[in-house]
Structure formats: structure tokens, C-alpha cells
Amino acid sequence: MERVEVEVFSTAVNAAIVRLPGRAFPGMVIQGDTLRTLLQDVLELQQVAEGTGSPDLEHAISCLKDNLRQRVEVYEEALKKEGVPLPY
């Protein structure tokens, strides 16, 4: 684990805004359980969209799902590496 000083623009619940060193723009912190919930929502959306006959819709949802899944995996691996239990 690395400790760095960050700039905090907002501490809004589930939407903290911070800027990491070396970054031009701030980012939004999404809590891990919220991130996983977003992935679950996209998985449900994918099920609803299947069979709609819209390959563009199915492709867009698949890309979003893959992007969120990758982020959930990075989150889970980081917590595992530090011995921190998952919040879900």
C-alpha cells in the first residue's frame, strides 16, 4: 500500500472528488459496494436487452459490463492483497 497526499474537492457520500498527485483532473471515488451494485445493474440490463434484436444495444451493454467488471476485479484484488474484507 502506498500513502500519498491527495486534494479533496468534495466528500459527498458515495461521490467523493479527489485529485491524485500527477493528475491534471480530479476523479470521483466510488465505494466498492456501489461499484459492484453498478455492475449488477448492468448484468440485469444485459439480460433484459438479450433478444431485442439490437446488436448495437447488446454490444454497448457488453462493453459497459466488461469495463465495470474489470474495475470490480481491480478493487477486489487490491483489497485481497492488503487483507481487507470485501464489503459485500
Owning domain of residue 67: 32-88
Judge if 46 and 4 occupy the same domain. no
d(CA 19, CA 17): 7
Judge if 6 and 42 occupy the same domain. no
Question: pLDDT tier at 15 (50, 70, 90 boundaries)?
Answer: confident
Q: Where are the beta strands (DSSP E) in the chain?
A: 7-10, 16-19, 27-29
Domains held by the chain: number = 2
d(CA 39, CA 45): 10
Judge if 50 and 71 occupy the same domain. yes
Judge if 47 and 83 occupy the same domain. yes
Structure confidence by residue, pLDDT tens digits, 30-82: 999 999 999 999 999 999 999 888 999 999 999 999 999 999 999 999 999 99
Residue 46: exposure state from Cβ atoms within 10 A (0-12, 13-18, ≥19) = middle
Judge if 25 and 38 occupy the same domain. no
Query: Grid coordinates 500500500 are at which residue?
Result: 1
